[in-house]
A and B are shown apart, each in its own frame.
Chain A
Amino acid sequence: QVQLVQSGSELKKPGASVKVSCKASGYTFVGYAMNWVRQAPGQGLEWLGWINTNTGNPTYAQGFTGRFVFSLDTSVSTAYLQISSLKAEDTAVYYCARDFRMDSSSSDYFDYWGQGTLVTVSS
């Protein structure tokens, strides 16, 4: 069965960096786009962007360029989200989510989600 298993919670100080992993299993990793979505405490869902697992090409939503980096290690079927120069407002649960489309050509809607990784930024 399809599973996306994310790394554990992180507590970081402002200005630090964090790298969240999302390990996929139960399907062919290369072929389905991977998205990143975040949810601040008590708030709604916000799309950060997606990465083409065929080419490794990332697409970032406006406001998530520069400090946010999507990457892959296809040898271990894992996607990564790295956030640098962390700010208090980055405190959120970060989800990876698989796109439904089996060609990684675009991002549409999400049929499988990771369990979420809480990133807390506090001094």
Chain B
Amino acid sequence: DIQMTQSPSTLSASVGDRVTITCRASQSISSWLAWYQQKPGKAPKLLIYKASSLESGVPSRFSGSGSGTEFTLTISSLQPDDFATFYCQQYNSYPLTFGGGTKVEIK
């Protein structure tokens, strides 16, 4: 199984900050990576697919980059609605696996 490791597990930031979350795969997954945002009590929401493609309707302040084993999700200017937990997910091979999550908290 491919292990996905996210860092940090928790991040404290202020509105307007630039935020970067890292996701590392235990082996190469090319660009087969998605990012999701989850708010408490809600289902995850797709943000990014194929490492850097923005899902329709997602604000352009979200961006993804990387390939192989190292990926990043960047929020260019953190907004109040962005405080949530973010997960990466690989779809290079079965079983599909998720990172452990990064909680973005208000500083």
Contacts and interface: CB of A to CB of B under 8 A. Distances in A.
A44 B43 contact: no
Given A44-B101, A113-B43, A61 B94 contact: yes
A54 interface: no
A45 B95 contact: no
Contact of A47 (B43, B97, B101): B97
Contacts of A49: 95
Interface string B39-74: 000111110010000010000000000000000000
Contact of A44 (B45, B94, B95, B98): B98
A109 B91 CA distance: 7
16 contacts: A44-B100, A45-B36, A45-B44, A45-B89, A47-B96, A47-B97, A49-B95, A61-B96, A62-B95, A109-B34, A109-B49, A109-B91, A110-B36, A110-B44, A111-B55, A113-B43
Interface of A: 35, 44-47, 49, 59, 61-62, 95, 97, 100, 107-111, 113-116
Interface of B: 1, 32, 34, 36, 42-46, 49, 55, 87, 89, 91, 94-101
Given A44-B99, A108-B96, 10 more contacts: A35-B96, A45-B87, A45-B89, A47-B98, A59-B94, A62-B1, A95-B44, A109-B46, A113-B44, A113-B45
